Amino acid sequence: MRALEVDNLRKEFETKTGPLFRKKRETITAVDGVSFAIDRGEIFSLLGPNGAGKTTTIKMLATLLIPTAGTARVFGHDVVREEATVRRLMTTVLPGERTLFWKLTVKENLRYFGSLYGLTKAYTERRIAELISFFGMEEKANALVERLSTGQRQKIVLSRALLPDPQLILLDEPTLGLDPNAARQLRELIRSVRDQGKTVLLTTHYMYEADELSDRVAIINKGRIACLDTPDQLKRSINAQKIIRAETDVWTPACSSAFEAAFPGNSIELEPDRESVRLTIMVRSGDVTIGRLASIALECGATIRTVQVDEPSLEDVFVAFTGDRAELEGESDEQSA
C-alpha cells in the first residue's frame, strides 16, 4: 500500500466580486485535477510558484478543506470519509512560526499538543524527552517559545509534528522566512526524519530545496501538475547538456538568425530588459562555446556583458514545462545558501 494516493483532486472556490448589490459570483479553480502517489519512506516535493495550488492541495490532504472532486488516500484511508483515521496517521506543519504558543515553554507546548493528539501522558513525556534530545534542544526545554530563535522554533514545530510518531508528514513551505543557515539545518532535519522511516510530502517554491531534498518532485503550476519525476530525470527530460546564460546590450533578429545558423538544434530564449537582454541557451547538440557565441554577438553588433554556464536546474525544467520564467522571479535562489 502506498503512503499517499491522490487521484484527480480538484478544488474550486466561489467568490463574489463587483460593487455592493451588484456582486457577481465567480468560481476560481485553485487545484485542477492533480494526481500523484507517494511511496513509503519517500520525500516528495510539490514545487511551484506562489498561487500555484500547493497549499490548497496540502490543506485538502490535511483534511482542512474538502475537495470539490477527486480522491486522496493516506495509507488507503480516504481523507474525506475517514478524516479521523487520517489525522492519526499523518501530521501537518503549516507555514509560519506562529503555530506554537509563545507564552508557553517548549515542554509545555509539546505536552499541550500531545494531549490534542490524544496521546497518553506517559508516552507523551517519553516522546518529548526523545525529541528534545534528537533536536539538541535540552537547554531550551524550559524556555518560553518567545525567547527562541526562528530556527529553534522551527525545530519545536517539527518536534510537535513527530510527537504522535506519524507515518506521513506534510510540510507546507517549511523553510519560508528562515535565514539560509536555519533553512539548511532544517533541510538536514527533514532528511533525518525520512531516515526514521517517515514519508514526507513537502511543498516549496525554492527550486534548490526541492532539488536537494526530494526523491521525486512534481512541478505544479496554475493548479495542475506540469511534470513529475526524480530531480535528475526531470533535468534530463529537458534534453539539455548545459545551459548558457548571458547578458548582452542588444540582441537583434539578425543575431538570432546567426545563432540558428551556427548552432542548429539549439534553442535560445530571450528576456529583454530596459538596458539589456538576457539569453538562456539550452545546449542540446553540437559544441556551443562561449567563444563562438561571443563572435556571433560581435558580428551582429551586440556585446556580451556577463556569461555563465550551468547544469540544467529545476528552474529550467519549470520554464521548459510551463514556459513561464516570470512566475519564478526572485524565488529560486534566496534559499540556496
Residue 94 binds another protein (CB under 8 A) = yes
Q: Least separation, in Å, of the C-beta of 121 and another protein?
A: 8
Indicate which single residue of 165, 179, 269, 331 sits in contact with another protein (rule: CB under 8 A).
165
Return the number of the residue (122 or 326) whose C-beta is nearest another protein.
122
Give dist(CA 329, CA 337) in Å, integer.
17
Indicate which single residue of 7, 78, 82, 108 sits in contact with another protein (rule: CB under 8 A).
108
Stretch that binds another protein, among 97-105, 175-183, 224-232, 328-336 (CB under 8 A): 97-105
Q: Which residue has the cell 517549511?
A: 174
Q: Least separation, in Å, of the C-beta of 281 and another protein?
A: 42
324's grid cell: 513561464
294's grid cell: 561571443
Q: Least separation, in Å, of the C-beta of 124 and another protein?
A: 9
Q: Least separation, in Å, of the C-beta of 14 and another protein?
A: 7
Indicate which single residue of 88, 224, 278, 292 sits in contact with another protein (rule: CB under 8 A).
88
Of residues 102, 198, 84, 202, the one with CA closest to residue 150 = 102
Give dist(CA 190, CA 169) in Å, integer.
10
Stretch that binds another protein, among 80-88, 224-232, 255-263, 277-285 (CB under 8 A): 80-88
Q: Which of residues 267-306 bind another protein (CB under 8 A)?
A: none
Return the number of the residue (146 or 333) whose C-beta is nearest another protein.
146
Using CB under 8 A as the criterion, what x/- string covers residues 58-77 for binding another protein? -x--xxxxx-----------
CA quadruple 158, 161, 166, 171: dihedral positive or negative? negative
Point out which residues pair with 25 in neighbouring strands. Answer: 16
Give dist(CA 171, CA 270) in Å, integer.
36
C-alpha torsion angle, residues 258, 259, 262, 268 (rounded to 10):
-160
Q: Least separation, in Å, of the C-beta of 206 and another protein?
A: 21
Q: Which of residues 11-40 bind another protein (CB under 8 A)?
A: 11, 13-14
Return the number of the residue (154 or 266) whose C-beta is nearest another protein.
154
Using CB under 8 A as the criterion, what x/- string covers residues 111-150 for binding another protein? xxx-xxxxxxxxx--xx--xx-xx---------x------
Of residues 177, 146, 147, 174, the one with CA closest to residue 162 = 174
C-alpha dist (Å) from residue 118 to 74, 121, 325: 19, 9, 46
CA quadruple 78, 84, 86, 87: dihedral positive or negative? positive
Q: Least separation, in Å, of the C-beta of 184 and another protein?
A: 21
Return the number of the residue (20 or 122) whose C-beta is nearest another protein.
122
CB 142 within 8 A of CB 104: no
269's grid cell: 530564449
CA quadruple 152, 154, 156, 158: dihedral positive or negative? negative
Q: Which residues bind another protein (CB under 8 A)?
A: 11, 13-14, 59, 62-66, 84, 87-88, 91-92, 94, 96, 98-101, 103-104, 108, 111-113, 115-123, 126-127, 130-131, 133-134, 144, 163-165, 196-197
